[in-house]
Every structure is written in C-alpha cells, then in structure tokens.
Structure 1
Amino acid sequence: MRANLLHTEPMFYYFAYGSCMCPVDLKRSVGEKTHVYAIKPAMLKGYRLGFYGYSPLRNCGVLDIIQDSAATVEGVLYQLPWRLSERLDEREGIASGLYRHELVNIYSKGQLYKNVRTYVVVNKLAEELAPNDWYCDVVIRGAITCGLSEQYCWNLFNHMYKLQQRHWQPQVLRSA
C-alpha cells in the first residue's frame, strides 16, 4: 500500500527526534496511522539533543536540536503525504513560534537524504528544562518502537532522568 501512495500523492521527508518518533502519538495529531510512512531509524550528524524548548501545552521542557560538529542525533525518518504538512506544523507550534522548519541531511539505511524537514526551537531557553513523565514515556516509546540503537535509548533515558532529578526535587512532607 505504501508504494502506491508514493506514486499517487506528493510526499515530503520528515526527521523526528522527539515525541513524533512515536507513531501512536503522531497519529493523535495528524489523524491517521503514520507507521506506514516510517522509513525507520535515521541519523542527523553535526547536531545534539537538548531540552531547550518549553511547551505550554505539555507544561514541560521539550526536545530541540543544537548544532554540534562532534555529535549525532538518532531519530526516525518518515516520508509523509504533503496533506499532513499543515497538521504537523500545527502540532509543532509553528504558528505560535515554538518551532520552525529546518532542512537537514539525514542518513538512513546507508542512504543520504537531502533537504529533510525537521523542527528546531525558535526561542531557546538559557538552560535545559526537564521534561515531564508523560513526555519522557512518549519519547522513549518512540525511540524503542522505531529501532534506535540500544545505547542511544539508554543515553536518552539517562539524560531525561538526570534533568528531572535536578529540576524536580521531591518535596519533603513535614508532620504538623
């Protein structure tokens, strides 16, 4: 079915590195199954991840990519129908100025994909802001489901966990 879609409607490549890696969560926003459009694991060279965005909708820190010549970001490469573009932009907060498009080169299955759309935080925070548990769960679920490397998944989980520990120290209840 996917091969027929490729020939019958305009498509675009999209690199997801955060919550959109999870096809179930992406479906919630774009209104249809997206796993059929996943090319699967991909790499963005020359960038690193960081939680330099704040999502009012999620009330927590959200992922961003930052240029870093020594780093690589793993994610998922999708080939999506153009008709989903507006809904994806809405999900990423383009109109409200949360994210903007950036065209990047992506490597997947030994092939280079040029001018692939991804999203970058517009007004980066001065320091990373911890994600909430829900966001962490969606990101990790997407990373594992789409087959990112085990080491990358562990590093991502550890990074999120450490941010939560630093930013959300539990309140000690005192007896009256």
Structure 2
Amino acid sequence: MTHFEVITRIAAAPQRVFDVSLEVDVHTRSMARSGERAVGGVTVGRMSLGDTVTWQARHFGLRWQMTSWISAFDPPGNFVDEQVSGPFKYWCHAHYFEPDGHRGTLMRDVVDFAAPFGPLGSFTEVVMLDRYMSRLIRIRNDHVKAVAEATSGGTSSSA
C-alpha cells in the first residue's frame, strides 16, 4: 500500500476551502487534462456526507471509472472520500483544513491506496503510481487554491 501527503497553503478561510474542495465542478475543471467528468451520483454542486460520485477519466491512454463516497464529514475541519468501485484495490483520501494563523488555511491531503494485481500492482505503485497520483493531487490543489483565493482576495504559495 502507498501513502503520501500533500500540504497546500491557501489564503482563504478554512470553511471557504472546505466548501470549494467539495464542489464537483471545481474538481472536474482541475482534472480537465484527463477529461475527467462526473457521470453518476452527484454530478454537479457540492458533495456532502454519504454522497457518491462516479468519475470517468482517461489516464495512461485508458478510460477509467471510479465511484467514491464521502464517508466522513466534519465541516470545516475534514472530510474523507473512499473508493466504492474502480481501478484500485483500495483508495482513501482524507482532506484536512486547519487555520494557518494568518487568516488562511493549511490544506493537508492524506492519500492511501493500493493497486490491484498483487505483486505486479505493488511494483506499479512504486515505479509509477505514487508519483503520478501525488502529481494529480497537487494539480487539483493548485486549482482549489486559485478558486478559493479568487473570492478571498489573497495569495499564498503551495508548501
């Protein structure tokens, strides 16, 4: 199983960043390069506890679908999305939002995942997926940051 964390500083209040992070349209725009879109469950608007969404995207030249659900929800501190069905043997993405002491937010993403296919999947995680998935989370976070700061009037940099 692979574990990684990404921390992003955002010049917006935790509640604002929490809300933006749950917007289906924000996520879709952040993943435009892979053509990601919501095709089932909550397909527009803001997700909440118990909601599911099925994402469809193209990665590594193949079309993938993943259905995830919001399994934990404690605004504005955190929420968790977990794979219900899809390409991973296991996927859990915890999102944390903490005040940074300067009227902004420290957004921390904690991702744990495992690829299918036993030893071959484990090898793929180490060789390719760990770096690829952490890059996707950083791209997503850069977009969340831009959207959240656009209405907050501040700027900050990713850590």
If the length of structure 1 is used for normalisation, what is the TM-score? 0.26
TM-score scaled by length of structure 2: 0.28
Q: Name which structure has the greater RCO, CA cutoff 8 Å, separation 6+.
A: 2
Larger Rg belongs to: 1
